[in-house]
Structure 1
Amino acid sequence: MNPQDSDGLSPGAVTVLLVEDDPPARWRLHDALSGNARFAVTTAATLAEARAALKGNGPHVLLTDLQLPDGHGVDLIRETRQRFPRTEIMVISILGDEESVISAIMAGATGYLLKDAFPSDIAATIHDLVAGHSPISASIARFIVRRTQGKPPLDPPMPALNTAKLTPREIDILWGIAKGFSYADIAEHLGLSRQTVPGHIKNIYRKLEVNTRGEAVFEALQQGLIKL
């Protein structure tokens, strides 16, 4: 946890607890928010650190990942909603499957963004959240609409031909994407050159007919290519 983040709190600032275990992602989000005097940001890298940060007053906003080293973000969302009902909660995750999204929303999340679809101005998005809006990535919003309309939440399964086209190496890379690993991490784990991973991912996108990491993970989960 980074307790000094909230030093110099300006009057009327929006307090944000950012829970993200991936250092580059945490630093990127922290820098995008802390550079604005309207925000006072505290960071946590684990569920335990987040719980420690919530021992005092609740923040205006909880911005959390779902996959944490020592637990699941849904538990943190549920606990925060019970203790601090006025706190706005937004998920930032690579997971865009129906189970993860619905679980987070049912636990109390009011917004849900996929990591590969961050808005260009995350500060403005947080202000929208505080103002009562519910920022949700477009691909997630679509199946939520279908669900509330009483329609099947998913499109019919894609032909088996698409899944058969994926090589074992591509499925391994898909798993790494689902776990939120960076390209460098995936390359190291699989003994690949860092430069070859983007090419494999481009092929995966083409074969699954998707355009983002979140959509690739969603399709892979629905087709049973990977399990988390």
Structure 2
Amino acid sequence: MIVDDHPLVRAAVTKAITSDDTEVVAEAATAEEAFSLALSVAPDVLLVDIALPGMSGVQLVRELAPRLPDTRIVMLTVSGAERDVDEAMRSGAHGYLTKDVTPEALARSVRAIRTGELVMPRRLAARLVERLARRAGPPPEAGDPPVEQLSQRERDVLRLLADDLTDREIATALTISVRTVETHVSNILHKLGVRNRNEAARRYREDR
């Protein structure tokens, strides 16, 4: 499934990846349209642009990742900015490609992501690993569950996240802004040393 607001891009991507074992089952021009469509078709692979009208591609990933655990989500965008890469991967993306990728490489990446491989240009992957290494803090003390290291507000957010609430629903429940929820989620993932919301929710359930 392809999510991009430019028809020409969707057509080009469709042409590049369609083969005997790969077909495009759905297309969407907005994140809002993609949300309901993806839940309906449950694609094996979801290619998502970041810059979409309305809800961003990263926000779409954040909402869909916990609902479609078997779908491999890959960002396909013009941006190679560190912030965009970090936010996408923390939100649950399984790969990140920029639109300067060749048609042949894109087709290979789609096949690779279906087998569980990480799909990302080497330059972006190397920088991501460096940033993660710099941010890594000391290991938790023995006998001190990682969840206990979170602030009370972060534990509140994590509890609701583990109940499968969306960022907007969490914001409403805690009377805070969606942006504040996103910041708390980012801090939670970093402190727990997990890659996405699903892993954070699992850690919460294990440590209760």
Q: Is it true that 1:115 corresponds to 2:115 in the alignment? A: no
Specify which structure has the higher proportion of strand: 1
1:192 corresponds to: none
Is residue 49 of structure 1 aligned with residue 33 of structure 2?
yes
User: Which residue does 2:13 correspond to in 1?
Assistant: 29
- The SS at the match of 2:93 is coil
What TM-score do you get using the length of structure 2 for normalisation? Answer: 0.60
> 8 Å contact 1:18–1:64 — kept in the other structure?
yes
CA distance in 1, matches of 2:29, 2:132: 34
State the percentage of identical aligned residues. Answer: 33
Q: Secondary structure of the equivalent of 2:134?
A: coil
Aligned length: 134
Determine whether 1:131 maps to 2:115.
Answer: yes
Whichever residue aligns with residue 45 of structure 1, its letter is A
The one-letter code of the counterpart of 2:81 is D
The TM-score, its normalising length taken from structure 1, stands at 0.55
- CA contact 2:16–2:104 (8 Å) conserved in 1: no
The corresponding residue for 1:94 is 78
Rounded Cα–Cα distance in structure 2 between residues aligned with 1:54 and 1:120: 25
Q: Which runs of 5+ in 1 are unaligned?
A: 1-16, 152-228
Aligned counterpart, 1:106: 90
Question: 2:46 & 2:73 partners in 1: Cα distance?
Answer: 5
Aligned to 1:225: none
Q: 2:66 aligns with which of 44, 59, 82?
A: 82
Tell me the equivalent position of 1:73. 57
Aligned to 2:131: 147
Equivalent residues of 2:17, 2:110 under 8 A apart: no
Checking the alignment, whether the CA contact within 8 Å between 1:77 and 1:109 is kept in structure 2 is yes
**Superposed displacement of residue 120, structure 1:** 2.4
Contact 1:90 1:109 in 2 (8 A): yes
Contact persistence 1:80–1:87 (CA under 8 A): no
